Amino acid sequence: MKGDRQGGGRADYLRPIDQKAGRIDMAHGAGGRAMAQLIHEVFAAELGNEFLDQGDDGARLPPLAGRLVISTDSHVVSPLFFPGGDIGSLSVHGTVNDVAMMGARPLYLAAGFILEEGFEISVLRRIVASMARAAREAGVPVVTGDTKVVEAGKGDGIFITTTGVGAVIEGADCSGRNARPGDAVLLSGTIGDHGMAILSRRENLSFETDIVSDSAALHGMVASLLALVPSVRALRDATRGGLASTLNEIATQSGVGIHVEEAAIAVQDAVAAACEFLGLDPLHVANEGKLVAIVPAAQAERALEALRAHPLGRRAARIGTVVEDSHRFVQMTTRMGGRRIVDWLTGEQLPRIC
């Protein structure tokens, strides 16, 4: 984000941008003065930090120690604002978490914005402010960025892509390929909160509920987990496709099976009820603040202790075990005592959730 090209720090704008009634027009993406002003008065005003303020085409960062991790995530959620967050905070949490799941400490973010002509600048400002707050709270600054504008009808208000850079925490070796038969499968809390919070605010489907998205940055919890249990094999945040898809990803990558207990998987009453009347399985509903950890069985209790000691992991529980299985099935013992497969989500369950 080239905030201030000119020597004094700001271009020669005659009037400030109209942040109350103004709307994005094609000039805001054309590379001219209007774009520079938007960047300066909206993006840099909220997100500013020593790297972004360099105003160059990219950010020059201090030397990093250890192995680097890079991860990218695009955010297209609808509605843009939902109980517990918005597309701005989500775009920070999503990428911070993806970096953290690699056993890494997230350090910097880059952000790309695709804005639709006609988008209200006041709404953009709210989103960018929320993004800045989330980045500040996470301690992960947005150090570079880009803005493009597409014609009305060719976007859906705003899309945000964030890329995160981080450094692997010393001693950590987390990968979905590392699960071994006998390992314990841990889950950091209740499932389905984010997806149902989004769905409860859909235009064509809104229903009265107090469900709040669990959108949160998980890197603090990951750091305390790895400090206590460096031998964590795999971490993954259970986002799109829900817990079911996350477990299947790990089983597939590691060439193992996973057995879980339905009774151990926590679902809030309101989420369970909403899933019930919409015919959804909470196992397939997205989360934005929950992680699955695969740890050696002997470390399961220690790992649970570490997770539960963190505010975001109070309801952490062991939900199952990694087993040998050439079919790589994820199976669940139901509350009834019967067994069934927990399959990947088929098709789309909830469009545009993150």
| Segment lying near other proteins (by CB under 8 A), choices 26-34, 132-140, 312-320, 323-331 | 323-331
Taking the complex as a whole, how short is the minimal distance between the CB of residue 230 and other proteins, in angstroms? 34
Q: Which is nearer to other proteins, 161 or 246 (CB)?
A: 246
Q: Which is nearer to other proteins, 204 or 210 (CB)?
A: 204
Residues 108-147 that bind other proteins (CB under 8 A): none
Query: Which stretch of DSSP H or E encloses residue 145?
Result: strand 142-150
Residue 210 binds to other proteins (criterion: CB under 8 A) = no
Taking the complex as a whole, how short is the minimal distance between the CB of residue 185 and other proteins, in angstroms? 17
- DSSP letters along 147-195, please? EEEE-TTSS-SEEEEEEEEEEEPTT----TT---TT-EEEE-S-SSHHH
Residue 102: which region, alpha, beta or left (left: phi > 0; alpha: psi -120 to 50)? alpha
Within 10 A of 133 (CB to CB), how many other CB atoms are there? 14
Residue 347 binds to other proteins (criterion: CB under 8 A) = yes
Are 101 and 232 spatial neighbours (Cβ–Cβ below 8 Å)? Answer: no
Q: Which residue has the tokens 């609808």?
A: 78
Are 345 and 249 spatial neighbours (Cβ–Cβ below 8 Å)? Answer: no
Residues 6+ away with beta carbon under 8 Å from 175:
102, 233, 234, 253
Q: Which is nearer to other proteins, 64 or 205 (CB)?
A: 205
| Segment lying near other proteins (by CB under 8 A), choices 42-50, 76-84, 301-309, 337-345 | 337-345
Q: Which is nearer to other proteins, 45 or 273 (CB)?
A: 273
Instruction: Give the C-alpha separation, 189 to 78, whole Å.
Output: 24
Residue in 14, 21, 65, 336 binding other proteins, rule: CB under 8 A: 336
Residue 339 binds to other proteins (criterion: CB under 8 A) = yes
Residue in 7, 153, 311, 338 binding other proteins, rule: CB under 8 A: 338
Q: Which is nearer to other proteins, 310 or 328 (CB)?
A: 328
| Segment lying near other proteins (by CB under 8 A), choices 38-46, 132-140, 169-177, 343-351 | 343-351
Q: Which is nearer to other proteins, 237 or 262 (CB)?
A: 262
Instruction: Give the C-alpha separation, 238 to 258, whole Å.
Output: 15
Burial of 19 (0-12, 13-18, 19+ CB in 10 A): middle
**Gap between the terminal Cα atoms of the chain:** 24
Residues 262-301 that bind other proteins (CB under 8 A): 263, 269, 272-273, 276, 278
Taking the complex as a whole, how short is the minimal distance between the CB of residue 78 and other proteins, in angstroms? 14
Residue 25 binds to other proteins (criterion: CB under 8 A) = no
Instruction: Give the C-alpha separation, 84 to 350, whole Å.
Output: 18
Residue 204 binds to other proteins (criterion: CB under 8 A) = yes
Instruction: Give the C-alpha separation, 293 to 235, whole Å.
Output: 5
Applying CB under 8 A, the residues found at the interface with other proteins are 204-205, 263, 269, 272-273, 276, 278, 327, 329, 331-341, 343, 346-347
